[in-house]
Amino acid sequence: MTSRDSIILGAGFLFLLWFSWWFSIREGRFHGIPRFFGFSGLFLLTWFNYRFWFLDAFSFRQIVSWLMLFLSLYYVAGALYFYIKYAKPEGMPENTTRLISEGIYRYLRHPMYGSLIFLAPGVFLKHPDLRSSILATLCVVAFYITALVEEGEMIGKFGSDYERYRKNTGMFLPKIFPLFKNCKQ
């Protein structure tokens, strides 16, 4: 690893630490702690795999990777659009004053974390090896834990409205079939 690499990695981790502290943890929203580990894993996963992004561009692995990356992009674009339109945050962007149940949020409680959960294997598939496998797994677990912690925060904030919302929506995937209506997520 070159000194340039060390500086970039160090700056990246410092930025993620600052972001987690500034936007979540200092405000008492502790989902920022596991999210920091998820973001850090994605940062490292991307760092290790960026050189392989277009290698064997039409292989099955690359096609699946691109599909996951585009699904990730679809999730985050839909989530941001409806978040900006309906969340009405006070002060910090994460301090929503309204429970959003329009657009993608009508079907998913955590489309932004879902986006990151699809992003991790999408980046992993660019160059699947043991190190990337471990990092992708860390990311998925960290974002799942982040969503669970945030659910507790949302129940504290929105109470029974969030409980009803939670029963009718999927966590990361929509509840499409009646068969899945009774599944706990």
162 found inside a domain: yes
Q: What's the CATH code of the domain at 36? A: 1.20.120
Structure tokens that stand for 171 in this block: 């966590």
Number of domains in the chain: 1
CA distance 4 to 8: 6
119 found inside a domain: yes
The reported pLDDT for the residue numbered 150 is 95
185 found inside a domain: no
Proportion of the chain above pLDDT 70, given as a percent: 95
- On the question of pLDDT at 155 being above 50, the answer is yes
| pLDDT tens digits, 95-146 | 888 999 999 999 999 999 999 999 999 999 999 999 999 999 999 999 999 9
98 found inside a domain: yes
38 found inside a domain: yes
Q: Which domain holds residue 130?
A: 3-180
Structure tokens that stand for 133 in this block: 């496998």
DSSP class per residue in 66-120: HHHHHHHHHHHHHHHHHHHHH---SSSTT--SS---SGGGGTBS-HHHHHHHHHH
| pLDDT band at residue 177 under the 50/70/90 scheme | low
